[in-house]
Each structure stands twice: as structure tokens, then as C-alpha cells.
Chain A
Amino acid sequence: MSFLGIAAITLVVIILFQISKAGEILGELGGEKESVDANNRFQANMFLGVLVFGLIGIVWSAVHYSPMFLPEASSEHGVGIQNMYFWTLVSIVPIFFLTQILLFGFSYFYRKDDRKTSFFFPESNKLELIWSLIPAVVMVLLVTGGLRQWLKITGPIPEERLEETLTIEATAQQFKWDIRYSGKDRKLGPRANRKMTAENPWGQDWSDPANQDDFIPTEIYLPVNKPVMVKINSLDVLHSFYLPHFKVKMDAVPGIPTQFWFIPTKTTAQMQLELDNPEFVYELACAELCGKAHFNMRKEVYVVEQDEFDAWAAEQESLYSKFVKPAKSAEADTQEQENEKNEKEEGIKKTVSSL
């Protein structure tokens, strides 16, 4: 193997050496000026050829791969974002084609001609003004459009929809997501990292009844067409709560709670039909480098009708019943035994004292 490798490298070096000499020799044969002219013609032709094939390649590949792009967004704001992107492309794609064509076109047309001289054209304030103002105007339009969307997306949930908003808490850690639901009382109970123990793995404050119906399921279920407020936090390092199909992304920052709200508009079943893919499932991923298994923080997301969501929620076991009740009943048993023992002792004492 290594002999072949050495032989290959030697061959390559010899070829390179010959190539490097070839130009010199041709130059000496045909004359310096002729070889310069020949080279200029060749490079100019290459620019033209690469321009044509390059643009064709770009258009073809974009068309070929576009079915694999994310489909129409499954959230209200996501559709707005895609619309904004369409208009952004309308602004920049023509510029791309125009400037690349002029760049390579001029290179081709204005390759050196010894019978001519270049046109001395150092400046034109008019041109500078035109091509400063037009981009400036386009940028202002893009900025105002973009900011209008951004402030809506990062602003509060509209008043009239607060009532039906589902609030969930997404906690990231190396290397998984846990999504806590608020249960029937629609209130997430208070918790703290510093209260986390083996018996109380989420550090919940059990004295607050709001905690007693909270549950953490294995998949995320969301009711369609209802606002979801995701309260995002992290236990250890930076992560990022990323739902690609809903155009949702917000970093999970240890020590600083963040949030993102959105309204899912297409059920999983609907997507499976639309994409003609019965295996399709929405996914939650991490989008901020968080260590060696950053690429593997996955959870499945199911968007369903309200009644299916309610049924699913009713089936979930609360953290309280998982961790506190068994402990409490074990405690209660020992407490009962203690009480019985005390009563016996008291009884004996009374009996003795009465003797």
C-alpha cells in the first residue's frame, strides 16, 4: 500500500514539474507575446464557460434539491417568515445574476487587445449615488419588513388568545430535553436547580399545589391552532430549543430563563398526508453546541386536535404521584408504625403509673 502511495506521489510531482515547464517552453517556441495572448484568450474563455455552466449548475441544483427544503411552515409566524424570505430573494437573486454575469462577461469581453487601450474612467459621482441609493432603499424596505415581523414574533401573545394558551417548560441538559406540562390547573409549579435531588429530580417545591399535577411525558404533544408558550431553560451549558418545521429557535441559557411562543397550524396527520409520508414526525433538536452528543438531543413532537390532546394529557402520570406519593405513603407507613409504637409506650406508661 505504502509503495503505491509513494509511487503515486512521485508521479504527481513529476507531472506537476512537467506542467510547470510546459508553459515556459511553449512561450519560448511561440514567442512571449503570443503565449501571453493565447493565455489571455484561454482564461477569458474559461471565465465565460465557467459562468455559463456555473449558473446552469446553480439553477439546476436549486430546483433539484428544493423538494428537500423544509416545507411550508407549520406555524402562523413561520408562514410570515417564509413570505418575507420570498421577497428577500426577489431582491437579491436578480442582483446575483446581474453582477456575476457582468463580472465574468466583462472579463471575457475586455481581455487584453494590444491594438486598443483601456478607457480612462476614474469616477462618476452620479453612478455612485445611484448605486448607493438603490441598495439603501431596498435595505430600508427589508429592515422595516423584517423588524415588523420580529417584534410581533418576540412580542407578547395577543390578549384575546391568552386564555387558550398552553404553557410548557423545556429544560435542556447534556444530552436530553425534558418538557414539563402544567396539568389541569394550567400552572407550572415553582422549581429550582439547587433543590434537585434523587428523590426530587426536578427540584420542585411540593408545598405549592401548582406542582402537584405537573408531568413530564416522553413525547411532546401540542393542540393545533392554539398558542404554545415555551419557557426554556438549561441545567448545565447553552443549548437551543429548535423546532425546524415551526420556525422556532431560542437558546436555552443556564441561569437565564428564555421563551418563545408560536401557534402550530398543521397536525402531524395532516403533514403525513401532505408530504405523502406516513412516517413523518415533527422533531425537536438542539441548535447550540453543547458537547459530544449535541447531535443527538431528539424528541418527537405531535400536533393533534384538542380532544386528542386532552385525552393524552389525562393519561400522563404526574411527577408528584411518581416521586412524592410513593415516598409519602412509605413515610406514612413508618409514621403509622411510629404512632402505634408511641401509643403503646404511652399506654404502658399510663398502666405503669396507675399501678
Chain B
Amino acid sequence: MASTDINIDAHAGHDHHDDHHHEHETNFFTKYIFSQDHKMISRQFLITGIIWAIIGVAFSVLFRLQLGWPDETFPIFETLLGKWGEGGKLNPEFYYALVTMHGTIMVFFVLTAGLSGTFSNLLIPLQIGARDMASPFMNMLSYWFFFLAGVVMFASLFVQTGPASGGWTAYPPLSALPSAASGSGLGMTLWLTSMSLFIVSSLLGGLNYVATVLNMRTKGMTMMRMPLTIWAFFFTAVLGVLSFPVLLSACILLIFDRHFGTAFYLSDIFINGEILTNSAGQIIEGGSPILFQHLFWFLGHPEVYIVILPAMGMVSHILATNAKKPIFGYHAMVYSIMAITILGFLVWAHHMFVSGMNPFVGSVFTLFTLLIAVPSAVKVFNWITTLWRGNINFTPAMMFSIGFVSLFISGGLTGIVLGNPALDIGYHDTYYVIAHFHIVMAMAAGYGMFAGIYHWFPKMFGGRMMNDNLAYIHFWVTFIGSYCIFWPMHYLGEAGVPRRYFSFAEFQFANGFEDLNVFISVASIVVFFAQFLFVINFFVSIFNGKKMKGLNPWGSNSLEWTTPADAGHGNWPGKIPEVYRWPYDFGKDGYEYIPQTVPDKDLKPITSSERLPSR
């Protein structure tokens, strides 16, 4: 599918759709359920992602109840968790299950599928000028594998021995031995099954995004005229395609160790009063738990860039659009995304400095980890410069984009501390790390997701807008509240308080933070409920939202705003527009904005006397 299909047949993009007639005959199932239209698929990813976000954040509220008020009984534990919350007390085994599930759900289902799945699907064809993805069928499969993965993970919450409880990082031998933890029984088997399906979903999506961006751009849309959203989605997909298979291999080897008597990760284990043997009576030996960690983090680190890059791309685009000023340093932004992608593959063992691996190996990873701070810093400075002398309209999306930059600064700087192995000795596996990754992932990436939803809601739901007032309250409560949750965790980390602790009462050095933990828990409850402002706004606006006036409510330059409000399959009813400029001509030559589809010859020159003074 080359970019030359714009000039003739409006249906040229349907060559590869087997079952589509000229009249676009669809039934309920092919329109809403097994849709191959990228816009419908993006809505499916989004709504599924929102549901998982509610579940994942609810889990965190539950375990924050334990951490804030360890001596209290909460009837809700018994109501929701049955035997795991008997007498209103949270069973420590299930505390660890909640923590594990929270991490798994938020990182994979919400911030990967819910973020990339939604926006790559929605925006890639619309912003590059394509009718749909390179393979709409694979695209549909990518959603349904995600759905299936979700069903399996959801089922694992209800098994008798409990869901997986060895952390979202699933390190063996804890995750390999059902006798080591209740959740390492059936719950872990289901977790591995779910993750395998999820990885398939990610790969199907990622390959599609790469192929579409490389091959299906419309006439005039050179790579260097693509919006930064597309650059971000493109490199995110590259990261995923190259790193998710390694996680799959880690999971497969773990499945083998669990069920087929192999020793990839296990060696000389003494548990339950005896040495571990396989069914033939041979002592299981020779494996290395550190191998799993390498394989896991080979995905795990690129995964965090998979989470943050789409948010960065969207924030760049939204900041420019609402400041009515070009994103500063477009080329530098592209090269920094490229640098982050490449370096992102070379830093994984900074999660393993004290894992027992060779310290010299750690040194190599230190170098690359601190290097990756450079392109990240460049991006922050460029975002701030974009605002300088702009003319800023504070739409809800703009609020979350500015909030994103604030959080990325805060979380990114502590990354520099943790990347130093000597300092990491003190901070590894403490609340300092929890503060760092929540600020960059839960907050920054989450804010990018909110910004994208508020901004592109009209594109997803027939030209309707979300309610502004609820949005602003949502922003401020979330912004202030989430800083209240995670900033204090740095102090816990400075006191050396370890992570994944059910209770802090047993250790003198972890004592004394009762008030702070109450503060954090209260903030987390408030922020959780504030999200319902968003959820209600979202679902009600789908049906009742004010329709946008015209086609381009934000005064954006990119192609997605040139389709009709209720764009059907194929996006543009007629020809796909041709592109004549980059997407960031804001405030140029006296024009507030110049869409990409407008050639220079169509621009009426604005004389300098007519122009408004610049800031």
C-alpha cells in the first residue's frame, strides 16, 4: 500500500479487506465486536484499559488501607476478598497478591495496551493519511488477544490458592515453586498464560504500527513531516517488537521449570524440609535465578520506555497545539526518541546491580543508564521552551500535558540517583524506587494518557467533547493528590524502608512513619475517587457530550482533524488529503495555525501591520 493511492479510488484502501463490499455492509458483530476498523479497535483498547485501571487502582487502595492503618479491621476486606480478608484483616499472602496484580495490571494492561493500543491505533492512520492499518485483520486479532489475556488474568483472581503473588517481576524460584507461595500455584500458571497471550497481542499490534508508518503515509507526508505522536508510536512499536519476545522466552522457560522438571532457574533448592528433585529423583541443579532477571529486564526496561514514549509524543503535540507555537526542536525531539530507543536496550541490568551478577557488568550498564538521561533532559528543556513566549490556551489536555512535564522532571531526576550503582546499594528495593517509578509511570505516563483522551475524544466519539469543568477538577485533585501520595515515599526510602513490606512494625529503622503512611493512604483514597470524575465524564460524554463546532476544535494542524466528525471506515470520504508542510506551523507569518494540508500558494500573506504583536 504505497502513498500513491490518494488520487483515484476512495475504496482503493480496501483491496486487502476480503469481506468488504462497496457499500460497507457490516452487521452488529463486524461493526462493534470483531471490527477491523482501527478507530473501533482503539475504542475497544481504551475502554478495556479504563476498566483495568479501575481494578488496578482499587487494588492499590486496598493495600494502602493495610499500610496506613495496620492495626485496624476493615469489613471491606472480608466483603471483597472472602477468606483472604477474614475478620476484616488482610491476609499477608493476599497483600502480596494485590501488590503483584496491581503492578501487572497497571504496567501491561493499562499503560501498554491501554495507552499504545488506544492511541497508536487511533492516530497512526489518521495522522499519516491512511485509510486504515497495513493489516486490519491482525489489528483486530491484537485486540482480541489482549481481551483473552485479560479474561485469563481476571480468572486468576478467583482461584482457590490465590492469584500470582511473587511481584509483577515474577522472579523465580519464588514464582517457580508452588510450595514457596500460595500464589505460585495455579495463580502463577494463569499469570504466565495471560502474559503469553498479552505478548502476542503486543507483537501483532507493534508489527502493524511499524509497517503502516513506513509504508502508508500519504503524498507529501515525509518522515520528517510526521507529528511527534507518530514518531513516538513508531519507536514504541520497534521497542516492543524487539523486546517482548524475550519476555515470552523468560515465561516459557519458567513454565518448563514449573511443569516439566527443567532447571533453567533452579539449583540446589532446599524447601519443605528436603532437597528439590525432579520426577526421576534427580536433584535439580545448574540453573540460575539471575538468568530470569536478565531475560525479564531485557523486556522490562524497554517496557518502561514503551510506556512513556507515547505519552511524550502526545504531550509534545498537545503542548504545541495549545501554546500555538511549534514544538521546540522538532529534529532534536526525533533524534532523542531514537536515542532513547537504542539506549533503552542497553540499560536493563541497572535493575540488577545487587542481584549477585558480576559487578563489572554492572559498570557497563551504569554508563548507558546515565547517558540516557541526556536525551531525556533535552526533551524536558524543549517542552519548556515550547511554552516560552507562547499564547497558551489551558484546555484539559494542556493541563495534563504541563503536569506531565512536571512529573517527568521529578521522576527522571531520581532515576539519575538510582542509575548510580554505589547509591543504588542503599536505595534498591526501598520506597525510593517506588517513588521514582510511580512518579514517571503512574503519574507522568498516566497523565499523557489523560491528555490524549481529553484531546482526541472528539475523534473517538463522533465529534463530542468531554465536559471541561469536571476535567479541571479531575486535573487539580489528581495533580496535587498524586504528588501527595508519591513525594513522601522518597523520605521513606531515605530512611531505608524496604518495599513489598506488609508491615513496618517489626523493624526499628522502619518505625516512626505511621503518620506519613496515613497521609499517603488518605491521599490515595482521595485520588482514587477523583478518577470517577473522569470515568463518569468519559462515559456520559460518549452519549451526551457537546458536539464540537466545526471540524477542528483545538486549532490543530495535523490530518486527523480533516476527517468528518463521524468518520466511517476509510476515514476520508473522498481523496486522502495531500500534505505540504510539517504539523507545527503555529504563529508563523501571522497565522495562528496552518494545517498540514494547506499549500503555501493558498496562504494569503498577512502584512506586518495586520499582524498582532508577538509575545
A3 close to chain B: CB less than 8 A: no
B570 close to chain A: CB less than 8 A: no
A161 close to chain B: CB less than 8 A: no
Complex Cα distance, B390 from A44, in Å, reads: 13
A85 close to chain B: CB less than 8 A: yes
- Whether A116 and B615, one on each chain, are in contact in the complex, defined by CB atoms closer than 8 angstroms, is yes
The verdict on A244 contacting B496 (CB below 8 Å), with A110-B390, A118-B390 known, is yes
Return the contact of B615 from the options A104, A119, A150, A174 (Cβ within 8 A): A119
The smallest C-beta distance from B383 to any residue of chain A, in angstroms, reads: 8
Return the contact of A23 from the options B330, B416, B469 (Cβ within 8 A): B469
Which residues, 109 to 137 on A, are CB-close (under 8 Å) to B? Answer: 110-113, 115-124, 127-128, 131-132, 135-136
- Whether A96 and B387, one on each chain, are in contact in the complex, defined by CB atoms closer than 8 angstroms, is no
Residue of A nearest to B336 (CB): A132
Return the contact of A249 from the options B429, B491, B508, B615 (Cβ within 8 A): B429
| Chain B 97-127 interface 0/1 with A at a Cβ cutoff of 8 Å (1 = within) | 0000000000000000000000000000000
Complex Cα distance, B537 from A107, in Å, reads: 26
Return the contact of B394 from the options A40, A248, A283, A294 (Cβ within 8 A): A40
- Whether A255 and B269, one on each chain, are in contact in the complex, defined by CB atoms closer than 8 angstroms, is yes
Residues of B within 8 A of A292 (CB): 92-93, 96, 165, 181-182, 502
Residues of B within 8 A of A238 (CB): 171, 173-174, 289
- Whether A285 and B498, one on each chain, are in contact in the complex, defined by CB atoms closer than 8 angstroms, is yes
A146 close to chain B: CB less than 8 A: yes
B612 close to chain A: CB less than 8 A: yes
Complex Cα distance, B615 from A36, in Å, reads: 19
B525 close to chain A: CB less than 8 A: no
Residue of B nearest to A286 (CB): B498
B550 close to chain A: CB less than 8 A: no
- Whether B473 and A289, one on each chain, are in contact in the complex, defined by CB atoms closer than 8 angstroms, is no
The smallest C-beta distance from A39 to any residue of chain B, in angstroms, reads: 7
Residues of B within 8 A of A120 (CB): 325-326, 586-589, 614
Return the contact of B180 from the options A62, A92, A143, A236 (Cβ within 8 A): A236
Complex Cα distance, B279 from A66, in Å, reads: 55
- Whether B366 and A147, one on each chain, are in contact in the complex, defined by CB atoms closer than 8 angstroms, is yes
The smallest C-beta distance from B79 to any residue of chain A, in angstroms, reads: 11
B318 close to chain A: CB less than 8 A: no
A162 close to chain B: CB less than 8 A: no
Which residues, 193 to 216 on A, are CB-close (under 8 Å) to B? Answer: 193-194, 196
A165 close to chain B: CB less than 8 A: no
Complex Cα distance, B483 from A100, in Å, reads: 14
> Please, how many residues of chain A have a CB less than 8 angstroms from a CB on the other chain?
114
- Whether A153 and B494, one on each chain, are in contact in the complex, defined by CB atoms closer than 8 angstroms, is no
Residues of A within 8 A of B473 (CB): 19
- Whether A237 and B615, one on each chain, are in contact in the complex, defined by CB atoms closer than 8 angstroms, is no
Residues of B within 8 A of A40 (CB): 392-394
B12 close to chain A: CB less than 8 A: no
- Whether A119 and B469, one on each chain, are in contact in the complex, defined by CB atoms closer than 8 angstroms, is no
- Whether A142 and B508, one on each chain, are in contact in the complex, defined by CB atoms closer than 8 angstroms, is no
| Chain B 157-184 interface 0/1 with A at a Cβ cutoff of 8 Å (1 = within) | 0000000011100011110010011100
The verdict on A255 contacting B285 (CB below 8 Å), with A88-B416, A289-B171, A293-B92 known, is yes
- Whether B413 and A95, one on each chain, are in contact in the complex, defined by CB atoms closer than 8 angstroms, is yes
Residues of B within 8 A of A169 (CB): none
- Whether B413 and A96, one on each chain, are in contact in the complex, defined by CB atoms closer than 8 angstroms, is yes
- Whether B385 and A127, one on each chain, are in contact in the complex, defined by CB atoms closer than 8 angstroms, is yes
B151 close to chain A: CB less than 8 A: no
B507 close to chain A: CB less than 8 A: yes
Residues of B within 8 A of A99 (CB): 380-381, 384, 409
Residues of B within 8 A of A117 (CB): 324, 391, 587, 590, 592, 611-615
- Whether A128 and B269, one on each chain, are in contact in the complex, defined by CB atoms closer than 8 angstroms, is no
The smallest C-beta distance from B513 to any residue of chain A, in angstroms, reads: 7
- Whether A123 and B331, one on each chain, are in contact in the complex, defined by CB atoms closer than 8 angstroms, is yes
Return the contact of B406 from the options A104, A115, A135 (Cβ within 8 A): A104
Complex Cα distance, B409 from A110, in Å, reads: 20
Complex Cα distance, B366 from A262, in Å, reads: 22
Residues of A within 8 A of B287 (CB): 255
- Whether A253 and B289, one on each chain, are in contact in the complex, defined by CB atoms closer than 8 angstroms, is yes
The verdict on A136 contacting B356 (CB below 8 Å), with A100-B406, A117-B611, A123-B330 known, is no
Q: Give the interface segment out of B49-57, B186-194, B368-376.
A: B368-376
A56 close to chain B: CB less than 8 A: no
B354 close to chain A: CB less than 8 A: yes
A335 close to chain B: CB less than 8 A: no
Return the contact of A68 from the options B479, B491, B590, B612 (Cβ within 8 A): B491
- Whether A112 and B378, one on each chain, are in contact in the complex, defined by CB atoms closer than 8 angstroms, is no
- Whether B409 and A256, one on each chain, are in contact in the complex, defined by CB atoms closer than 8 angstroms, is no
- Whether A92 and B506, one on each chain, are in contact in the complex, defined by CB atoms closer than 8 angstroms, is no
A30 close to chain B: CB less than 8 A: no
Which residues, 255 to 304 on A, are CB-close (under 8 Å) to B? Answer: 255-256, 258, 279-281, 283, 285-296, 298
B214 close to chain A: CB less than 8 A: no
Which residues, 398 to 440 on B, are CB-close (under 8 Å) to A? Answer: 399, 402, 405-406, 409-410, 413, 416-417, 420-423, 425-426, 428-430
A347 close to chain B: CB less than 8 A: no
Residues of A within 8 A of B533 (CB): 16
Residues of A within 8 A of B288 (CB): 253, 255-256
- Whether A19 and B469, one on each chain, are in contact in the complex, defined by CB atoms closer than 8 angstroms, is yes
Complex Cα distance, B476 from A245, in Å, reads: 39
Which residues, 475 to 516 on B, are CB-close (under 8 Å) to A? Answer: 476, 479-480, 483, 487-488, 491, 494-496, 498, 500-504, 506-509, 512-513, 516
Residue of B nearest to A153 (CB): B422
Q: Give the interface segment out of A46-54, A218-226, A315-323.
A: A46-54
Q: A16-B470, A258-B356, A294-B500 are in contact. List 19 more A-B contacts (CB 8 A).
A: A43-B472, A62-B491, A68-B491, A69-B495, A81-B422, A118-B325, A121-B328, A123-B328, A135-B378, A150-B420, A242-B429, A242-B498, A255-B266, A255-B289, A283-B508, A287-B429, A290-B180, A294-B502, A298-B507
Where the two chains meet, the residues of A that have a C-beta atom closer than 8 Å to any C-beta of B are 13, 16, 19-20, 22-24, 36, 39-40, 43-44, 46-47, 50, 54, 58, 61-62, 65-66, 68-70, 78, 80-81, 84-85, 88, 91-92, 95-96, 99-100, 102-104, 106-107, 110-113, 115-124, 127-128, 131-132, 135-136, 139-140, 142-143, 146-147, 149-151, 153-155, 173-174, 192-194, 196, 235-238, 240, 242, 244-245, 247-251, 253-256, 258, 279-281, 283, 285-296, 298
Closest CB pairs A-B (n = 6): A255-B267, A244-B496, A154-B359, A118-B587, A146-B420, A119-B389
A sample of 8 inter-chain contacts (CB < 8 A) reads: A61-B491, A69-B494, A81-B422, A99-B380, A103-B387, A136-B371, A146-B422, A193-B270
